Amino acid sequence: MTDVLTAGTVATIDANEAVASVAYRLSEVIAIYPITPASPMAEHADEWAVTDRPNLWGSVPDVIEMQSEGGAAGAVHGALQAGALTTTFTASQGLLLMIPNLFKIAGELNAFCLHVAARSVATHALSIFGDHSDVMAARGTGFAMLASGSPQEASDLAAVAHAATLRSRVPFLHFFDGFRTSHEIQKISTLDDAVLAALVDDADIAAHRARSLSPDRPVVRGTAQNPDTFFQAREAANPFHDACPAVVEATMERFAELTGRHYRLFDYVGHAEAERVIVMMGSGAECAHEAVEHLAAQGERVGLVKVRLYRPFSMERLVDALPPTVRSVAVLDRTKEPGSTGDPLLLDVTAALVDALGRGTLAALPRIVGGRYGLSSKEFSPPMVKAVLDELTGDVPRSRFTVGITDDVTHLSLPLDDDFTTEPDSVHRAVFFGLGSDGTVSSNKASIKIIGEHTPQSCQGYFVYDSKKSGAVTVSHLRFGPEPIRSTYEIRSAGFVAVHDPGLLDRLDVLERAAPGATVLLNLAAAPDEVWDRLPRRVQETLVAKGCRLFAIDADAVADRYGLGRRINTIMQTCFFALTAVLPVDVAIDEIKASVVSTWGRRGPEIVRRNVEAIDAALAELHEITVPAAASAPPSTRLTVPDDAPDFVQRVTRLMLDGHGDRLPVSAFPPDGTWPTGTSRFEKRAIASEIPIWEPDLCVQCNRCSMICPHTAIITKVFEPEHQDGAPASFRSQPETYTHELEGLAYTVQVAPDDCTGCGLCVEVCPAKDRTRPKRKAINLQPADEHRDRERTAFEFLRQIPDVPRTRIPRGSRTLALLPATFEFSGACAGCGETPYIRALTQLFGDHLVIANATGCSSIYGANLPTTPYTTGADGRGPAWSNSLFEDNAEFGFGLRLGLDATARRARSLLDDLAPHLPAALVAELGEPCGHDDEQLTRRRQVVAELRDHCSRMTEPGAVALADLADAFTNRSVWAIGGDGWAYDIGYGGLDHVLASNRDVNVLVLDTEVYSNTGGQQSKATPLGAVAKFASAGKETRKKDLGLLAMSYGHVYVASVAMQARNRHTLQALLEAESYPGPSLVIAHSPCIAHGYDLVHAPAQQARAIASGAWPLYRYDPRRVAAGEPPLVVDADPVSLPMREYMEQEARFRMVEMRDPDRFTTLVRAAEHAVRDRHALYEQLAQIRLPEQEAHDG
Amino acid sequence: MAELATTWLGLELTSPFVIGASPLADDLDGLRALVDAGAGAVVLHSVFEEQILAEQLAVHHFVDSRIDTDAEARSFLPESATFPVGADPTLAHLERVRAAVDLPVVASLNGVTPGGWTDIATRMEAAGADAIELNLYDLVTGFDETAADIEDRQHDVVSAVVAAVDLPVTVKLSPFYTALPAFVRRLEQAGAAGVAVFNRFYQPDVDPDTLDVDRHLHLSTPAELPLRLHALALLHGRVGLSLAATGGVHSGRDAAKAVLCGATAVQVVSALLVGGAPQLTRMRADLVEWLDEMGYRSVDEARGAMALDNVADPHAWERVNYTRLIQGWRPRSTGT
Enumerate the β-bridge partners of residue B169: B132
pLDDT bracket for residue A664 (50, 70, 90): very high
Helix then strand then coil, in percent of chain B rounded to 5, is 45, 15, 40
Separation between Cα atoms, residue A1007 and residue A985, nearest integer Å: 12
Parent domain of B60: 6-328
Per-residue pLDDT at A464 exceeds 50: yes
DSSP string, B62-111: HTGGGTT--SS-S-SS--GGG---SSHHHHHHHHHHHHH--S-EEEEEEE
CB A748 within 8 A of CB A801: no
Q: Residue A68: is its pLDDT beyond 50? A: yes
**Does pLDDT of A606 surpass 90?**
no
With a pLDDT cut of 90, the percent of chain A lying above it is 90
Contacts of B64 in chain A (CB under 8 A): 439, 600, 603
ipTM: 0.91
Which pLDDT belongs to residue B325? 47
* Residue B334 covered by a domain: no
Q: Which is it for strands A690-694 and A623-625: parallel, antiparallel or unpaired?
A: unpaired
Kindly list the residues from chain B whose CB atom is less than 8 angstroms away from the CB atom of residue A774.
211-212
pLDDT exceeds cutoff 50 at A1: no
Q: What is the CATH number of domain A269-403?
A: 3.40.50.920
Domain with CATH 3.40.50.970 in chain A: 10-214+236-258, 1008-1193
Contacts of A566 in chain B (CB under 8 A): 65
pLDDT tens-place string over residues A219-255: 999 999 999 999 999 999 999 999 999 999 999 999 9
Q: Can you give the pLDDT at residue A1194?
A: 38
Question: Between A and B, how many CB-CB pairs are < 8 A?
Answer: 156
Number of domains in chain B: 1
At a CB cut-off of 8 Å and minimum separation 6, what does A1159 contact? A1033, A1034, A1152
Predicted pLDDT at A1193: 45
Q: Measured between alpha carbons, how far is B292 from A299 in angstroms, rounded to an integer?
A: 111
Task: Tell me how far apart the alpha carbons of residues A921 and A913 are, in angstroms, rounded to a whole number.
Answer: 15
* Fold designation for A1008-1193: Rossmann fold (3.40.50)
For A605, name the nearest residue in chain B, comparing CA atoms only: B116
B335 falls within a domain: no
Q: B320: helix, coil or strand?
A: helix
- Asked if the structure places residue B195 within a domain, the reply is yes
More confident residue, A1032 or A548: A548
Q: What's the rounded mean pLDDT across residues A379-383?
A: 98
B142 lies in some domain: yes
For B30, the 3-state DSSP assignment is helix
Per the prediction, chain A carries an average pLDDT of 95
- No. of H helices and E strands in chain A? 43, 37
* Separation of first and last alpha carbons in chain B: 55
Q: Find chain A residues with C-beta within 8 A of B65's C-beta.
A: 437, 439, 565-567
Residue B163 lies in a domain: yes
pLDDT at A383: 98
Residue B220, pLDDT score: 87
Cis peptide before A151 (omega within 30 of 0): no
Q: How far is CA A251 from CA A84, A191, A263, A844, B193, in A?
A: 21, 15, 10, 64, 72
CB within 8 Å: B78 and A1028:
yes
Residue A738 has pLDDT above 70, yes or no: yes
Task: Tell me which of A607, A698, A832, A1008 to substitute to probe the interface with B (most B C-beta atoms closer than 10 Å).
Answer: A607
Closest residue in B to A1026 (Cα–Cα): B77
Check CB contact under 8 Å for A1151 and B79.
Answer: no
| Residues on chain B touching A465 (C-beta within 8 angstroms) | 69-71
Note if the bond before A805 is cis, omega within 30 degrees: no
| pLDDT (0 to 100) of residue B113 | 65
Indicate the pLDDT class of residue A459, thresholds 50, 70 and 90: very high
In Å, how far is A318's CA from the nearest CA of chain B?
36
pLDDT band (50, 70, 90) for residue B206:
confident
CB contact under 8 A, B71 and A465: yes
Q: Which helix (H) or strand (E) holds A8?
A: none
Q: Within 13 Å, how many C-alpha atoms sit on residue A962's CB side?
A: 28
Report the largest interatomic distance among the alpha carbons of chain B, rounded to a whole angstrom: 79
Host H or E run for residue B260: helix B252-261
Number of C-alpha atoms within 13 angstroms, CB side, residue A427?
24
pLDDT at A91 over 80: yes
Residue A271 pLDDT > 90, yes or no? yes
Q: Would you state the pLDDT for residue B168?
A: 97
Mean pLDDT is lowest, of A392-401, A605-614, A1021-1030, B188-197, for A605-614
Give the chain A residue nearest B67 (alpha carbons).
Answer: A442
pLDDT at B323: 45
A10-214+236-258 architecture in CATH?
3-Layer(aba) Sandwich (3.40)
User: How large is the average pLDDT for residues A1087-1113?
Assistant: 95
Looking at residue A927, its pLDDT comes to 94
Chain A nearest C-alpha distance from B50 (Å) = 11
| Model pLDDT, residue B112 | 66
Among A181-195, A435-449, A481-495, A782-796, the minimum mean pLDDT is found in A435-449
Contact B59 A603 (CB under 8 A): yes
Distance CA A1000, CA A1016 (A): 32
Q: What is the CATH number of domain A680-833+857-888?
A: 3.30.70.20
For chain A, the C-alpha Rg in angstroms (whole number) is 32
pLDDT of residue B218: 79
* Residues of A tagged active-site: 36, 69, 119, 1013
For A817-837, the three-class secondary structure string (H helix, E strand, C coil) is HHCCCCECCCCCCCCCCCHHH
Residues of chain A with CATH 3.30.70.20: 680-833+857-888
Question: What residue in B sits closest to A46 (Cα-Cα)?
Answer: B78
pLDDT at B319: 57
Mean pLDDT over the full length of chain B: 87
Cβ-Cβ contacts under 8 Å for A501 (sequence gap 6 or more)? A433, A434, A435, A438, A473, A523
Q: Best mutation site among A606, A771, A1013, A1152 for testing chain B: the one with the most B CBs within 10 Å?
A: A606
| Nearest by CB: A603 against B56, B74, B93 | B56
Smallest CA–CA distance, residue A1154 to chain B, in Å, is 5
pLDDT value at position B212?
A: 81
Higher per-residue confidence, A608 vs A88: A88
Q: What are phi and psi of A266, to 5 degrees?
A: -130, 120
CATH code assigned at B93? 3.20.20.70
In this prediction, residue B116 carries a pLDDT of 64
Quick check: B217 contacting A, CB < 8 Å?
Answer: no
pLDDT in tens, A910-928: 999 999 999 999 999 999 9
Which of A52-61, A789-798, B170-179 is the least confident region? B170-179
Which chain A residues contact residue B75 at CB under 8 A? 1015-1016
Question: Which residue in chain B is spatially nearest to A1156 when comparing CA positions?
Answer: B89
At the topology level, CATH places domain A428-625 in: Pyruvate-ferredoxin Oxidoreductase; domain 3 (3.40.920)
Q: Degrees (nearest 5) of the Cα angle A74, A77, A82?
A: 130
Residue B139 pLDDT grade (very low, low, confident, very high; cuts 50, 70, 90): confident
Q: Do B85 and A1154 lie within an 8 Å CB cutoff?
A: yes
Residue B336 has pLDDT above 60, yes or no: no
Which of A14-18, A24-28, A785-789, B44-48 comes out lowest in average pLDDT?
B44-48
Q: Which of A577-581, A991-995, A1086-1090, B107-111 has the lowest mean pLDDT?
A: B107-111
Chain A residues with CB under 8 Å of B96 CB are: 1158
Predicted model pTM: 0.92
Give pLDDT tens digits for B103-138.
999 999 887 666 667 788 999 999 999 999 998 877
The string of pLDDT tens digits covering residues A8-49 is 489 999 999 999 999 999 999 999 999 999 999 999 999 999
State the average pLDDT over residues B181-192.
Answer: 96
* B16 within some domain: yes
